[in-house]
Structure 1
């Protein structure tokens, strides 16, 4: 599972969400948004760096990233 750490009213987060939706349409991947405001630990870890994509193993991909970066991240995480 992938998690996009983000928050509302963040245009970079919206760009990252659109990119994930586009790649997910062609690539087998499951992801969920996580609003950093909802959890103090998420806020402490990611709040100053959003959007950040992370997997269950702790691998992280920080913004800015494009489709190529995302595909490389997915390949490395497998």
Structure 2
């Protein structure tokens, strides 16, 4: 049980970090190309990345019995 929880935390942190960095990168591109180097697209992109990562983590921790889309029955 502890190993599964550790794997979920690792997956959660990696997913959140990846989504946040991607959001910042997309925000930088939009800031430079379309919005005359304003900072709000970068903040908005990082917020979206954090929000999506948090949502995925929340879903992963709240559904502990889902394995590849199938429900595991309690014994």
Does TM-score exceed 0.5, indicating one fold? no
Larger radius of gyration: 2
- TM-score, length basis structure 2: 0.31
Greater per-residue helix proportion: 2
Higher relative contact order, chain-length normalized (CA < 8 Å, sep 6+)? 1
